[in-house]
Amino acid sequence: MIDAKILVDSSANLATGCDFVSSVPLKIITDEREYIDDENLNTAAMVWDLKTYTGKSSTACPSPQDWLDKFEDKPYVFCIAITSNLSGSCNAANIAKADYEQEHPDRRVCVIDTLSTGGEMELIAEKIQQWIEEDFSFDEICEKVKDYQQHTGLMFMLESMQNLANNGRVSKIAAKAAGILGIRAVGRASDVGTLEPLEKCRGEKKAIASLADHMVAMGYEGGKMRISHCLNPAAAESLRASILAAYPGADITIRSTGGLCSFYAEKGGMIIGFEK
Ligand code: X90
């Protein structure tokens, strides 16, 4: 078994509750304070703070040094990063890789641009851990990840896209519908790792049905599903129940979004990584 470290940035929502990865924090920044998205962050308190905060807020990706600090002198490191089309996290990981491999020519780092976030990153982390335990080599795992990424997808349901629009991660036009009371924006991560809105649903029930339909249309066949939600356990449970009704054996887990995804998905939002 190779002696490897699996790292994710904190957009994977794995700062807590996952023992085989280490999480590299992003930051959420307002004029008043800075929230570090690590295991000490009270995410719910942050979401409520931000709901009443009227000033500017933004986020910042990890620096190359933030990634390097978690490499822990391991001979092999996997860095699983949020889509490079929305964040500099992947770029920072690539700089960390270059430094580390130059300093230690016998060590190897694999940086994965997931073109996604949340639960899709969680699926990739779980697979890498599985392949390490199954004794695959570092090079084999790097190759296999590329193939696995073709068989995973990400969908989202959002009540508000205000923070995404304010920070230039979606167009103001795309964000508009999600601002209307009762409307849920349903969409997916596009092939190039950007937000692709698919539907505007009136009410959560319709949105959840739409999510399930789209996932099946995209090729979901009862494989793994990794749901994260921002203060909306009911929606997550309801999606799980509807998937289990069609695929009783499906391996579906639910967790809370961490700081970064809570900031962008906002209260009520849900992000779903799935195998297809
Ligand atoms: O570097 C930074 O400051 C982080 C910027 C991240 C921006 C986007 C985060 C999106 C989080 C929203 C729903 C899922 C969208 C998936 C798109 C690939 C969650």
According to the model, what pLDDT value does residue 2 have?
98
According to the model, what pLDDT value does residue 239 have?
98
What is the distance in A from the centroid of ligand 1 to the CA of 137? 31
Q: How far apart are CA 65 and CA 46, in angstroms?
A: 26
176 has a pLDDT exceeding 90: no
Of 66, 166, 169, 171, the residue with max ligand 1 atoms within 8 A of its CB, to mutate for a pocket test, comes to: 169
Q: Which of 89-93, 171-175, 220-224 has the lowest mean pLDDT?
A: 171-175
Distances (CA, A) of 82 to 116, 137, 169, 173, 182: 6, 24, 13, 24, 29
According to the model, what pLDDT value does residue 276 have?
98
55 has a pLDDT exceeding 90: yes
Phi-psi region of 21 (alpha: psi -120 to 50; beta: other; left: phi over 0): beta
Closest atom of ligand 1 relative to the 85 alpha carbon: 18
pLDDT top residue among 251 and 175: 251
What is the distance in A from the centroid of ligand 1 to the CA of 263? 9
The residues, any chain, with a CB within 8 Å of residue 25's CB and separated by 6 or more, are 9, 10, 15, 36, 37, 38, 62, 66, 259
> Which residue puts its alpha carbon closest to atom 16 of ligand 1?
189
Is the whole model's pTM more than 0.85, yes or no? Answer: yes
Region 86-109 average pLDDT = 98
According to the model, what pLDDT value does residue 78 have?
98
Which H or E element spans position 162?
Answer: helix 162-166
pLDDT band at 110 (very low <50, low <70, confident <90, very high): very high
Closest atom of ligand 1 relative to the 115 alpha carbon: 18
Tokens of 77: 């490191």
Q: How far apart are CA 54 and CA 51, in angstroms?
A: 8
What is the distance in A from the centroid of ligand 1 to the CA of 265? 8
What is the distance in A from the centroid of ligand 1 to the CA of 146? 21
Region 225-254 average pLDDT = 98
What is the distance in A from the centroid of ligand 1 to the CA of 104? 32
Ligand 1 site, residue 89, Cβ cutoff 6 A: yes
Of 13, 59, 63, 114, the residue with max ligand 1 atoms within 8 A of its CB, to mutate for a pocket test, comes to: 59
Closest atom of ligand 1 relative to the 58 alpha carbon: 3
Region 251-256 average pLDDT = 98
Ligand 1 site, residue 186, Cβ cutoff 6 A: no
Region 116-136 average pLDDT = 98
Ligand 1 site, residue 94, Cβ cutoff 6 A: no
pLDDT band at 123 (very low <50, low <70, confident <90, very high): very high
Of 61, 21, 6, the C-alpha closest to 263 is 61
Q: What is the pLDDT of residues 225-239, one digit of tens each?
A: 999 999 999 999 999
Q: How many Cα neighbours within 13 Å face the side chain of 39?
A: 9
Q: Provide the mean pLDDT of the chain.
A: 97
> Which residue puts its alpha carbon closest to atom 10 of ligand 1?
264
According to the model, what pLDDT value does residue 177 have?
81
